[in-house]
Structure 1
Amino acid sequence: MYRTIIFDFDGTLIDSEKLVQSLFPTIIDEFNLTHLSKYALSDFKKKSLKQIITEFKISPLLIFKINKKVQEEVFKKIPELDWQEGVLQMLEMINSRGYDQGILTSNSRKNVDHFLSSKQCELFSFIASSKHLFGKDKALNQLIKRKKLMKREVLYVGDEVRDVEACLKIGIDVAAVSWGFDDEKLLVDVKPTYLVKHPKNLLECL
């Protein structure tokens, strides 16, 4: 059924949540978001990015700046980051079955390359980066056309509501993973093709 599996990076493949949590006070101070100081990162996990922008009154431009700041800090901490539990074994199994694996992320290509190099990982045949947090549907379409893929043969794997929405918008199947950033209930509500609760369970979707 599927020939190509495309993965999100942060939250889906790597465990960057503790790093983001440690940056929370710095982000609040640097971007003058003192009204958010009473919240914990867990409060944001229960809301989609669009809900965060609306309910916490954070502009899309500021979200972009915060994301850039986080990416810069991620690069510094790459040696300290690791795969999500069970993910490397999952990737190796998918690779052994002959699937083509790639990455499409809102993180920088530099960060992805740095992480994969630090782990001596050569399991991905392509890596693409999209700077637009809300433009993943366009980035996916462009990637599919550039790689000359058939949509029915592509499965995207991500951990956020916006990942699911992007895939549904362009008509490709999507596996939403519950071990990443967005809360499982949020993911269920947007009706992904599959809801995956452990990396080994992704193999059952292929």
Structure 2
Amino acid sequence: MAERGVATSQPLDLVIFDFDGTLSDSGDWFVSVANDLAERFRFRKIAPDEVELLRRKSSREVIEFLGIARWKMPWIARYVRKLVSREAHRIELFPGTPNLLERLVETGVKLALVTSNSEANARKILGPQHAAQIHCYACGSSLFGKAPKFRRVLRKMGVAPNAALAIGDETRDVDAAREVGMRAGSVLWGYAAEDLLRGMSPDALFRTPEDILAYVSRHRG
């Protein structure tokens, strides 16, 4: 785990997770349907040798590379949520996720989920036991609409921004956390490549779920 040397005296009370690519191992599934989406919504198809290239681009750069018109994005997101609902049985949690959620709850920290996926899909993939460990859901956000969802969760949970940590796997997760004044953590097992995430200088980089638990335990106060 890499952690920035910026000290904060505020104990950590809330962890807000992204879902796809952070808790849910949906990357291979998405690649498998990407070109069907491209055909349906008329954007550039992805060649097999371009997948790794796209992992080294920011979220906005990926959209530009694929030639996706901004006005199409809500329609694409809605369609993808329907696909996930039908094919949730093909998507599993990353190894170590169930144990991570259980042990985080034991520390006393509150957990929330902010995702562009639907709450129903997230609950289905998490399963009833693990879904119940999430204290607050704010789902269905637009691709670049996480900051308002973060603010809503903070208000609902009664937590100050500097007492919260947002954890995701893309550059837009870091951007949204900073916009709100939260700490930002990036996992290295998701969509974006490690060098791209390092370039964002998040407060922490997590190589394993155990790294997240160690960080939270150290910053609980």
**TM-score scaled by length of structure 1:** 0.91
**In the alignment, what sits opposite 1:45?**
55
CA RMSD of aligned residues (A): 1.8
**In the alignment, what sits opposite 1:186?**
196
Point out the more displaced range, 7-16 or 81-90: 81-90
Does the 8 Å contact 2:93/2:125 carry over to 1? no
Question: Which digits, 9 at most, give the CA deviation of each residue in 1:110-148, with x for residues without a partner?
Answer: 211222336664211111114321121121112212222
Deviation at 1:88, TM superposition (A): 1.5
Q: What one-letter code is carried by the residue in structure 1 that aligns with 2:110? A: D
Partner Cα separation in structure 2 for residue 120 and residue 6 of structure 1: 15
**In the alignment, what sits opposite 2:119?**
109
Does the 8 Å contact 1:130/1:139 carry over to 2? no
**In the alignment, what sits opposite 1:144?**
154
- 2:38 is matched with which residue: 24, 28, 31? 28
Deviation at 1:51, TM superposition (A): 0.5
1:10 and 2:26 matched: no
Deviation at 1:184, TM superposition (A): 1.3
**In the alignment, what sits opposite 2:3?**
none
Measured at CA, do residues 75 and 45 of structure 1 come closer, stay the same or move farther in structure 2, by a change above 3 Å? same
Q: What one-letter code is carried by the residue in structure 1 that aligns with 2:47? A: K
Deviation at 1:177, TM superposition (A): 0.5
Stretches of structure 2 that go unaligned for 5 or more consecutive residues are 1-10, 217-221
Measured at CA, do residues 64 and 44 of structure 1 come closer, stay the same or move farther in structure 2, by a change above 3 Å? farther
Q: What one-letter code is carried by the residue in structure 1 that aligns with 2:106? A: S
- 2:75 is matched with which residue: 53, 56, 65? 65
Partner Cα separation in structure 2 for residue 38 and residue 152 of structure 1: 41
Q: What one-letter code is carried by the residue in structure 2 that aligns with 1:123? A: Q
Q: What one-letter code is carried by the residue in structure 1 that aligns with 2:45? A: L
Measured at CA, do residues 92 and 25 of structure 1 come closer, stay the same or move farther in structure 2, by a change above 3 Å? same
Point out the more displaced range, 55-64 or 93-102: 55-64
- Identity percentage over the alignment? 26
**For this pair of structures, how many residues does the alignment match?**
205
- 2:166 is matched with which residue: 152, 156, 176? 156
Tell me the secondary structure at the aligned position of residue 78 of structure 1: helix
Matches within 5 A, 1:121-136: 121-136=131-146
**TM-score scaled by length of structure 2:** 0.85
Measured at CA, do residues 45 and 65 of structure 1 come closer, stay the same or move farther in structure 2, by a change above 3 Å? farther
**In the alignment, what sits opposite 1:96?**
106
**In the alignment, what sits opposite 1:19?**
29
Stretches of structure 1 that go unaligned for 5 or more consecutive residues are none
**In the alignment, what sits opposite 2:179?**
169
